[in-house]
Structure 1
Amino acid sequence: MTTGANTGIWRSEALATLRLAVPLAAANLLQMAVYAIDVIFVARLGQTPLAASSLSVSLFGLLAWSLSGLTGAVSALVAAELGARNHAVRSVRRSTRMGLWLAVGTGTLAMILCSFGREILLLTGQAREVADLSGGFLHVLKWAMVPMLIANVLRSVVSALGRPVFATFITALAIAVNAAGNYALVFGHWGMPALGLQGSALSSVITGCVTALAYTGAIFANRRLRRHYLFGHLWRPDWQRLREIAAIGAPIFFQVLAEAGLFGAAAFLMGRIGEAELAAHTVALQIAAFTFQIPMGIGQAATIRVGYHYGAGDRAAMGRAGWASLQIGLCIALFSSSLMVLAPRLLLSAYIDVNAAERAVMVALAVRYLVVAAAFQLVDATQVILAGALRGLQDTKVPMAIALLGYWVPGFGVSVMLGLGTGLRGFGVWIGLATGLAVVAAMLLWRWNRREALGLLHARG
């Protein structure tokens, strides 16, 4: 094969990845804007409500993101089915139906756990006032869990079916709904009661329901999606397909749980160190999480592209899809890292008034945390994209073990040691976060590079 032809193949793969990644990353960024709206409104209620909201969202988000990993496994199955081209319409419908069953079942269990949010926070040593506020917040917010998981399944399916742009438009709609809900319910505008912190939670519930309904409407409205009859026979169990989704998705659940749990645990550590540290951590983490949405979207695209080639049995194309995704992601991560170093106060100003005297300590702490966040942008992008590529190969068990080991031994261990055992305090916690991400990224890179030798390319015929 000539060099020109080889270059053309790589360019074609990169463009195919970008066609998926751009709308998915845009949807992820817009989703962070949905969460940012909550922070912006709640921050105006004061530092204590902001701390309570942060802890509540940490617990809720830990469950929601992990279960999104479990139910989102349908994208890997759908992509492989499309690549294999064997009864794809029926197979896609089976995966969608059982994905929705998982969303409802696991979401209900998560709601029950959220009902004990106050007690969980008290067990972690949080202040009683903050725990009381958090408990009330979670009692409302928990009702957003099931619709959010349903929306995640539908988003995963429509993206794998070549309509990722729907995710962008629907998430943009969610921003408008959440902004209007917070405006009306937190401070009591448009004739609505001023519910304060719980008003923000209720707005999230409304937003989750609208999002799920919007995906449903888009599926019925689009001819290509409608022909898959995705909602057909919803009541009919398909235990084999449910087991297949669970076999791939359960390790993803624990992998996401390990990472989300690390950051959630960091919030609890910050709560023990002080309210100013926790508030600074909340805002700085919002920025780091916002930039992370782009490589996460690329990782989601990598799952679909690698999964498609996996189903088709094209080993060379599997490798191209993974490496092209990683190269794109690292270029973008380098840019976001530079922004955190060169303009941290500008980034912070999107969330808080950086010139307010009463926030001086919080701003100074947040700027320090962003320096560490800048350092781990590249490794964070590496780990999420390679995890996505390996999911396309339906390889999830060992990446799960890597995540559990990397995040919770060196990651959390360093956070506790430096955060609570030295004068570094919150800065030490963030060093621990960076350590965990770096270890996981290195191990996943080794596994992806050795994918053929490890027998991961059992392509379908």
Structure 2
Amino acid sequence: MSDNVAPTVPAPPIPPSLRGWSGEFRATFALAWPLVIAQIAQNALQATDVIMMGWLGPEALAAGTLANSFLMPLFLFGVGVVGAVAPLTAQARGRRDIKAIRRVVRQGFWAAILLAVILAPIVLQIRTVYGWLGQDAALAARAEEYIQIAVLMLAPAMGVIVLRSLLSTFDASRVILVITVGGVIVNALGNYLLMFGNFGLPRLELRGAAIATTLTNLFMLGVMLTYVLRHRRFKRFNILIRFWKPDWPRFREIFRIGSPIGLTVLAEVGLFAAAAILMGRLGTDELAAHAVALQCASLAFMVPLGLGIAATVRVGIAYGRRDPEGIGKAGWTSFMLGTGFMAVSALSFILLGPAIVAIFLDPRLAENQNALVLAAAYLAIAGLFQLVDGAQVVAAHALRGLSDTKVPMFMAILGYWCVGLPVAWLMGFVLDLRGVGIWLGLAAGLAFVAVLLVGRFAMRERLGLLERIA
């Protein structure tokens, strides 16, 4: 199909603004729940690597952790940039414009390739950078072994995000879930075979883990691409036709919308990395307790994150359809679902904290007692910021559906680094609240960002965010 032809793609038969709140609730929930489970499965994929690296021994686990600590922030920046494909394809669906969808996806692949080419040389400097930071030379060398292969996963992994955005736009989130779960299985099997040399294969240890990670992303990209190219609902988009043909306006649009998303992700990841460094200054028990509480909070966060992705799609579709009422219903429905779940998780963390942390640290061991008490205290504070954490992520994603990412980026940087981190330092070290103070600082930063982002979405018309559909 030529790019000069602009057929239309059927929009949802009844606009959300005409179906009422219950219809929007059903549409959002149907789109979101597979995305939530897929996010949890994505976490399981990373957890599988950590567990199986641990089977190799503490040195391998430490080296793998160093490698991923260096790789993931850069990778997540790239994910944020190509994530701009989601609101752009959703808006195109609202306008019923097949040509725009095809071109956005195609330029999304271009962006993924360019970002991989730019980021790869930076990632490969891991040994040099850790040398400057005074990291153990032997661990840095082993981390470099992993990175030299894992760097190959950048392009396919970001390509997966491009296709996930397209599939989410057309409510095919169950396909995303199935393929992600398949990726977890492929990754675990690859680790088992290549890390440990089972079934006659060479024992490659960390290199084996890197190969498995790369193959897993290639597998997920291949399956998603095959589905999109062959399924009757998606093959009409012909996303690879004239793949070499540039569309510079849309290419620039992806970076214009996506770069602030990537920087927002970096700001948040950086805040929690800085909190871990501060915890490390307090002692081993504090750092271990922090890791446990953060793992629990991260797991709960997958629910509003999945709902946020759904909000981007639902708001984007309404925005493309020039439906201001539908935009409001889509955004507030996701917001209510996200904060409702986080209220439940907050109560769980506050009331069941000791029982939850006992899953991670054996309460029968005397050396774990202090860490258990600290972890339960941190988890209780994590419960307090569950509501604002859910609110800020859903609001940010709803604004992305309006292609509004630059101002939210500045709000996030301001909240995380000018409020959250200073408050954590003040309360943790100046007021001597130690780990509790650091967690209160995290809560303050998240609350500040949540108020700004929710307020911005609530005032979207007054702030001129809907001018393009007026």
CA distance in 1, matches of 2:143, 2:350: 33
CA distance in 1, matches of 2:139, 2:356: 27
**Structure-1-length-normalised TM-score:** 0.90
Match of 1:183, SS state, is helix
CA distance in 2, matches of 1:359, 1:181: 34
Q: Which residue of 1 aligns with 2:4?
A: none
Cα distance, 1:200–1:350 mapped onto 2, change above 3 Å: farther
CA distance in 2, matches of 1:159, 1:6: 20
Q: Which residue of 2 aligns with 1:65?
A: 76
Q: Which residue of 1 aligns with 2:5?
A: none
Aligned 1:87-98 pairs, distance under 5 A = 88-98=97-107
CA distance in 1, matches of 2:280, 2:304: 29
CA distance in 2, matches of 1:303, 1:375: 26
The CA deviation at 1:276 is 5.1
The CA deviation at 1:361 is 5.4
Q: Which residue of 2 aligns with 1:41?
A: 52
Deviates further, 330-339 or 93-102: 330-339
Cα distance, 1:158–1:384 mapped onto 2, change above 3 Å: same
2:47 maps to a residue whose letter is A
Contact 1:51 1:278 in 2 (8 A): no
Q: Does 1:310 align with 2:305?
A: no
Across the two proteins, how many residue pairs are aligned to each other?
Answer: 455
Q: Which residue of 2 aligns with 1:13?
A: 24
Deviates further, 387-396 or 247-256: 247-256
Q: Does 1:257 align with 2:269?
A: no
Q: Does 1:292 align with 2:301?
A: yes
Cα distance, 1:285–1:92 mapped onto 2, change above 3 Å: same
Match of 2:302, SS state, is helix
CA distance in 2, matches of 1:139, 1:345: 41
Deviates further, 32-41 or 383-392: 32-41
CA distance in 2, matches of 1:303, 1:6: 16
CA distance in 1, matches of 2:134, 2:434: 17
CA distance in 1, matches of 2:227, 2:251: 25
CA distance in 2, matches of 1:270, 1:137: 27
The CA deviation at 1:440 is 0.5
CA distance in 1, matches of 2:368, 2:215: 32
Deviations 1:145-177 (A, max 9, x none): 221111011111111122121110111001101
1:160 maps to a residue whose letter is T
Contact 1:36 1:286 in 2 (8 A): no
Give the superposed CA RMSD: 2.7
1:210 maps to a residue whose letter is F
Q: Which residue of 1 aligns with 2:253?
A: 244
Q: Does 1:169 align with 2:175?
A: no
Deviations 1:203-260 (A, max 9, x none): 2222222111121122123110111111211111111110111111111111112112
Match of 2:237, SS state, is coil
Contact 2:339 2:390 in 1 (8 A): yes
Q: Does 1:397 align with 2:406?
A: yes
1:74 maps to a residue whose letter is V
2:70 maps to a residue whose letter is L
Q: Does 1:321 align with 2:330?
A: yes
Q: Which residue of 2 aligns with 1:117?
A: 126
Contact 2:427 2:434 in 1 (8 A): yes
Cα distance, 1:40–1:338 mapped onto 2, change above 3 Å: farther
CA distance in 2, matches of 1:300, 1:460: 22
Contact 2:276 2:287 in 1 (8 A): yes
The CA deviation at 1:115 is 1.2
Aligned 1:8-407 pairs, distance under 5 A = 9-47=20-58, 49-85=60-96, 88-124=97-133, 126=135, 128=137, 130-271=139-280, 273-274=282-283, 277-344=286-353, 347-348=356-357, 355=364, 362-407=371-416
CA distance in 2, matches of 1:422, 1:56: 35
The CA deviation at 1:199 is 3.4
Match of 2:469, SS state, is coil
Cα distance, 1:132–1:337 mapped onto 2, change above 3 Å: farther
**Structure-2-length-normalised TM-score:** 0.88
Contact 2:17 2:326 in 1 (8 A): no
Cα distance, 1:101–1:7 mapped onto 2, change above 3 Å: closer
Deviates further, 263-272 or 415-424: 415-424
Match of 2:47, SS state, is helix
Identity of aligned residues (%): 40
Q: Which residue of 1 aligns with 2:10?
A: none
For structure 1, the 5+ residue unaligned runs are: none
Cα distance, 1:302–1:343 mapped onto 2, change above 3 Å: same
Deviations 1:265-315 (A, max 9, x none): 333444555555444444432322221111011111111111111111111
2:266 maps to a residue whose letter is L
Cα distance, 1:237–1:260 mapped onto 2, change above 3 Å: same
Cα distance, 1:215–1:324 mapped onto 2, change above 3 Å: same
The CA deviation at 1:59 is 2.8
